[in-house]
Structure 1
Amino acid sequence: MRKRAFLLCAVIAAILLACNPLRADDSVLMISTEDGEKGYSRPMLAAFPQHRLETHTSVTDGPQIFSGPLMRELLADAGFDGDSVRARALNDYEVTIPTSDFERFDVIAAITMNGEELTPRDKGPVWIVYPRDDASELQDIRYDYRWVWQLDRLETP
């Protein structure tokens, strides 16, 4: 009986390891450019200047307080140079976002919400967050599709 329980635990552990969204180097976000890939761990993202943003979302009640680096600074650090970026999430959701959004608005790569670290269970590890309350045009559904939660990759479309 113990041997069966051990084998069952081993099989479950192998499945969980195979499905683990974290990479061996602890990167939670990968950015691909023409020059290669750069991985960002949570501490690396936290080392950027953190921008605080209080705004409503289309998927939560009331205003929420987010913090994280500006998307434009993150892409610049990775050497990303393009008119648009494909954002991909852990759940395979993908959307192409014009990089002009990141110049026009202070869009952040949120790593915390209301002071709590974002995890895959609550829209993390990274969530693209627009300053929705700062501009009426951002309350349009076109922008709602660009709020990628569980973000794990940015790449050239």
Structure 2
Amino acid sequence: MSVWRVSLTAAFIWVAQAGTATDNDLSALYVERLDGSEVKFTLEDLDALEQVGFSTSTVWTDGINHFSGVSILNLLEHAEAEGSTLRMVALNDYSIEMPVEELDEKAPIVASRMNGDTMSIREKGPFWVIYPFDSDPEFASEINRSRSVWQLSRLVLVK
């Protein structure tokens, strides 16, 4: 009986691993171009790009926090991804689209750190689209709050 349990357990583990072998890496960010090709960015890849940071309050965190990461515009340029509409997708499949023309070098950013520390999935990471809400009333809009995708997994050019 114990040999049967060990064999069944080993088979279950093998099937579970095989099932996740093709899944996306949860600790990476994927940028999908219009032609369907994609570029994978690890935290190390993102850290190698020009970093942007700002301190701001959010409706999801306490007090003022410092967020740092890469501007989405810079990230798309680095991935050689062009288009007019960007869909931002979270790990839970929440998604929202925005016009690429509304991106600039300073906002929004894909934050990889809050107060200098990487963010776990539980802490809205590993990547969070964030705006400097306190720096300009334009950034504090409801639409920008809805575009502040935490647990970001993909940036997809759809048009």
TM-score by length of 1: 0.84
Query: Structure 1 counterpart of 2:32, which letter?
Result: S
Structure 1 residues 16, 53: closer, same or farther in 2, change over 3 A? farther
Is the radius of gyration larger for structure 1 or structure 2?
2
Residue 11 of structure 1: how far off its partner (Å): 4.0
Whether the 8 Å contact between 2:46 and 2:70 is mirrored in structure 1 is yes
Instruction: Tell me which moved more, 137-146 or 12-21.
Output: 12-21
Following the alignment from structure 1 to structure 2, what is the Cα–Cα distance between the partners of residues 149 and 16?
27
Q: Aligned pair count?
A: 155
Whether the 8 Å contact between 1:27 and 1:40 is mirrored in structure 2 is no
SS at 1:38 equivalent: strand
Residue 15 of structure 1: how far off its partner (Å): 4.5
Aligned to 2:33: 33
Residue 119 of structure 1: how far off its partner (Å): 2.0
Q: Identity of aligned pairs, percent?
A: 34
Residue 106 of structure 1: how far off its partner (Å): 2.5
Structure 1 residues 90, 18: closer, same or farther in 2, change over 3 A? farther
Following the alignment from structure 2 to structure 1, what is the Cα–Cα distance between the partners of residues 10 and 62?
39
* C-alpha RMSD of the superposition: 2.6
Following the alignment from structure 1 to structure 2, what is the Cα–Cα distance between the partners of residues 2 and 111?
46
Instruction: Tell me which moved more, 93-102 or 11-20.
Output: 11-20
SS at 2:46 equivalent: helix
Aligned to 2:94: 93
For structure 1, list consecutive stretches of 5 or more residues without a partner in the other structure.
none
Residue 156 of structure 1: how far off its partner (Å): 2.1
| Structure with greater proportional helix content | 1
For structure 2, list consecutive stretches of 5 or more residues without a partner in the other structure.
none
Structure 2 matches for 1:74-89, cutoff 5 A?
74-89=75-90
Aligned to 2:115: 114
Residue 85 of structure 1: how far off its partner (Å): 0.2
Aligned to 2:125: 124
Matched, 1:133 2:138: no
Q: Which string of whole-angstrom CA distances, capped at 9 and with x for unpartnered residues, describes residues 30-49 of structure 1? A: 11113421111110011111
